[in-house]
Amino acid sequence: LHGMTIVLTGAGGRLGLVLRPRLLARGFSLCSADIGALEPLGDRETVVTGDLRDSTVIDRALEGAGSVLHFAGTSVERPLPEIIGNNLVALHAVYEGARRHRVRRVVFASSNHAIGMYPAGQRLSLSDAYRPDGLYGLSKLWGEGMGRLYWDKYGIEGVALRIGSALPRPTERRHLSTWLGDDDLERLVLRSLAAPLTDYRPVWGVSANTRRWWDNAEAAELGYAPAQNAEDYAAEIEAEPDGGDPEAVRFQGGTFAASR
């Protein structure tokens, strides 16, 4: 695994910026791709700038790659053309590139907004049906379906990380259930890259939160052992009024689910 380059798409995004130095520090060679220009962080990082819908950009990024961490895309609710361009068309181009370049594994940043219409508090497992809370959440069904398709049809191993709230620290009550700390994000990504795997699987991207809603046995099987817990911030968060839309607290997807 260490011999092969890992391609990180969306390397300039919030999670990309967390992962880049951490993966380099672990000894991986990285090709960091983003729509905006990036400066390499060291000898073992190359950068590719461009739109992933352009197959020449994909070819530059994926040449010689062992695994892809697909973290690029629109990360909030946006008008349909933008969602289609970034989260459907570009994502498909990445998987097609993975096939052309014989990439072994793709790890995809999915989201809890694929199930955001479930009531807050309801315990879920990965076999529960999708309940997207908007077009953004719906685009994550496409992404998870793509991972499934490329394993079933082309044998590309896949992990979809159904991420809760990946933030440096929880800042609102909902995060006491949904938080994924940066150290746990790193742990989950490392296991998703390295765990022996001969399938495609979704897993929850969540820390060891006392109040979490999601049963993460599938991630435990990969060797993911989260060590952060949003409960450490509970007293502080609960001392403040939970500002914002009271409708939002009814849903797992929070404000995404409550907005019309």
The sheet carrying 45-49 orders its strands as 45-49, 29-34, 5-9, 65-70, 105-111, 157-163, 200-205
Note whether 217 binds ligand 15L by CB under 6 A. no
**What is the CB neighbour count within 10 angstroms for residue 39?**
7
Bridge partners (DSSP) of residue 110 are: 162
Minimum separation from the CB atom of position 259 to ligand 15L (A): 12
Q: Give the residue at shortest CB distance from ligand 15L.
A: 165
Minimum separation from the CB atom of position 136 to ligand 15L (A): 7
Report the C-alpha gap between 106 and 3 in whole angstroms.
17
AA letter at 135: L
Minimum separation from the CB atom of position 165 to ligand 15L (A): 3
Note whether 178 binds ligand 15L by CB under 6 A. yes
Catalytic, 233? Answer no
Note whether 173 binds ligand 15L by CB under 6 A. no
Only segment of 16-24, 33-41, 85-93, 110-118 that touches ligand 15L (CB under 6 A): 110-118
Note whether 220 binds ligand 15L by CB under 6 A. no
Nearest to 1 by CA among 187, 191, 150: 191
Nearest 5 degrees, angle CA 64-CA 70-CA 72?
120
Only segment of 53-61, 83-91, 109-117, 189-197 that touches ligand 15L (CB under 6 A): 109-117
Query: CA-CA distances (angstroms) from residue 20 to 72, 182, 196, 226, 231?
Result: 13, 12, 23, 20, 27
- Using CB under 6 A as the criterion, what x/- string covers residues 65-84 for binding ligand 15L? ----------xx--------
Tokens describing residue 258: 């409550």
> Using the rule CB under 6 A, which residue among 112, 139, 177, 207 binds ligand 15L?
112
If the CB atoms of residues 105 and 174 are measured against ligand 15L, the closer one turns out to be: 174
AA letter at 238: E
Which of the following is catalytic: 118, 136, 150, 200? Answer: 136
Note whether 165 binds ligand 15L by CB under 6 A. yes
Q: What SS3 state is found at 140? A: helix
Note whether 209 binds ligand 15L by CB under 6 A. no
- Active-site residues, by number, are 136
Residues of the shown chain interacting with ligand 15L in the complex, contacts defined by CB under 6 A: 75-76, 111-113, 165, 178, 254
